[in-house]
Chains A and B, each alone.
Chain A
Amino acid sequence: MSEQQGISIIMVNTEEVPGKSITKTLGVVSGSTVRAKHAGKDILAGFKNIVGGELSAYTELLGESRDEAVQRMLQEAVGRGANAVVNVRMATSAITPGASEILAYGTAVIVE
């Protein structure tokens, strides 16, 4: 899940990139995505929940959504000419039953 297939610039969730120094700050960038699983997998997950444990269909779904949100954030950062995103944070909210929104945001910077 940690590999970024599309854009790969430096991305960390610390305030500074360890071992490098920030020369310019380019403002907050963010990316979000809303996804839902199809009903069949919902029902299967419902059966799995009788006993409990990991619901891998949902784990997969949310992992994919996070990767996509991160990709959108990185796209915005690249558009601003940044070569790193620092202080990345994630937020999740259930907007309607069956769908949740994933938001990734961070600060686009130029590092040396």
Chain B
Amino acid sequence: MEVWQIFVAIGLFFAAIGIAAALFSPLAWIYSALFSRRKHRKLLSDLRDRIDLTLEKYGRDPLTNKKNPTFGEGISEAIYIQSNYVLGPGWFNQFIAFYHSLIGGNIKAYDDVLTLARQSCLQSLRDQASEGGFDEVINVRLETARISALTQGSKQNRYIEIFAYGTAVKYS
């Protein structure tokens, strides 16, 4: 084998990596456009079923953001509960949001993902309350924060964190 052949082989190898890297972004984008909303819708409908099950079990929604318990009976136990959910909106949604920021208007694509994140946080509170045998969760608060990744350029990925907390109480 000649020396120049080795150099050509190395050159071809790097060229292949370059082409793969160049193709990755558009392919990933198309994949995101095709499957992102479908996935979010599926997650959301699964979650709605779980919420319905819990509501059926309690006969009412155990969560409230009132400061005092609904029923003025004695309370035997009170404990702090919390849950969080970090949401990646997906490339396609990020693109749509960017596009909408040019022309303005309601960004419907984000409604689904934010509803998903909030509802699953609240459902996690309900789950924790029913696991511990608590009757109600009072003073529920929701918070939203934006966190960004270190390695991928900070322009690309903007993750959203939803955080919910409240006080679970047990009636005596």
Q: Which residues on A are within 8 Å of B, measured CB to CB?
A: 1-2, 10-15, 17-19, 36-37, 39, 42-43, 45-46, 48-56, 58-59, 62-63, 66, 70, 88, 90-94, 97-100
Contact = CB atoms under 8 A, between A and B. Distances in A.
Nearest to B120: A54
20 contacts: A2-B132, A2-B168, A11-B79, A12-B78, A12-B80, A13-B141, A14-B78, A39-B150, A42-B149, A42-B152, A46-B151, A49-B157, A49-B159, A50-B32, A52-B113, A53-B39, A58-B159, A92-B163, A94-B147, A97-B148
A43 B24 CA distance: 15
Interface in B69-100: 69, 74-76, 78-93
A53 B69 contact: no
A72 B151 CA distance: 29
Interface residues on B, range: 35 or more
A51 B150 contact: no
A53 B43 contact: yes
B145 A39 contact: no
Interface of B: 28-29, 31-32, 35-36, 39-40, 43, 67-69, 74-76, 78-93, 113, 117, 120, 128, 132, 138-139, 141, 143, 145-152, 154, 156-157, 159, 161, 163, 165-169, 172
